[in-house]
Amino acid sequence: MPKPTKGPRLGGSPAHERIILRNLASQLFEHGRVVTTVTKAKRVRPLAEKLINRAKTDTVANRRFVNRTITDRGIVHILFTEIGPRMEGRDGGYTRVTRIGIRKGDNAPMAVIEVISDKVAPKTPASAADAKAQINTATEAKDAEPEAGDAAVEHNAPAEDAAAQAPVADEQEAAEADEKAEEKSEA
């Protein structure tokens, strides 16, 4: 649990602040996202990050640590079976706080805190030879693209000629229509 702040606290007393943070963390893991005030979102984020970090490795000690904060066993199960394994390749930054505006009644700044759902590929150390091979493959692909582009330009040439002739035909028709209109106005 984060140490309660000195001065004004969420909810008034240190115990109430801890309970608020526990409940917010529980709801975050259960629903994936919670709409709350910016202050509460900023205070619950470090707690949620620590719990998710513990949930990445499923051991008895880690489960006991998480059970001290999250008392609902169903939510602990979700944390260790779904959220923890999903964050296996990520080194922190498991949650995101996004400001969404102000609350209508009291103008409190509101935010959404959510568990990031993007699955990250685990980091693999690449050797120098693999990196060079990837660079060579990329340059070969770039060299091959202009050839395909030139062929596409050649195939589009008749279509471009037809498109260029179409405005000329439209201009001739417009000129003929103007001549007919002038003849009618003279008569």
Q: Answer yes or no: do 21 and 63 share one domain.
A: yes
Q: How far apart are CA 84 and CA 94, in angstroms?
A: 10
Kindly state the helix (H) or strand (E) to which residue 102 belongs, with its residue range: strand 95-102
Identify the pLDDT of residue 97.
95
State the total domains in the chain: 2
Sign, Cα dihedral of 80, 83, 85, 90: negative
Identify the pLDDT of residue 47.
95
Residue 143 has pLDDT above 70, yes or no: no
Identify the pLDDT of residue 167.
59
The rounded mean pLDDT for the chain is 80
Q: Answer yes or no: do 132 and 157 share one domain.
A: yes
Q: Average pLDDT of 52-66?
A: 94
Query: Which pLDDT tens digit goes with each residue over 9-46?
Result: 788 888 999 999 999 999 999 999 999 999 999 999 99
CA nearest to 79, candidates 121, 125, 40, 48: 48
Query: Which pLDDT tens digit goes with each residue over 72-120?
Result: 999 999 999 999 999 988 888 999 999 999 999 999 999 999 999 875 5
Query: Which residue has better confidence, 71 or 124?
Result: 71
Q: How far apart are CA 111 and CA 184, in angstroms?
A: 71
Q: Answer yes or no: do 144 and 83 share one domain.
A: no
Q: Answer yes or no: do 139 and 82 share one domain.
A: no
2 within a domain of the structure (yes/no): no
End of a domain among 115, 143, 166?
A: 115
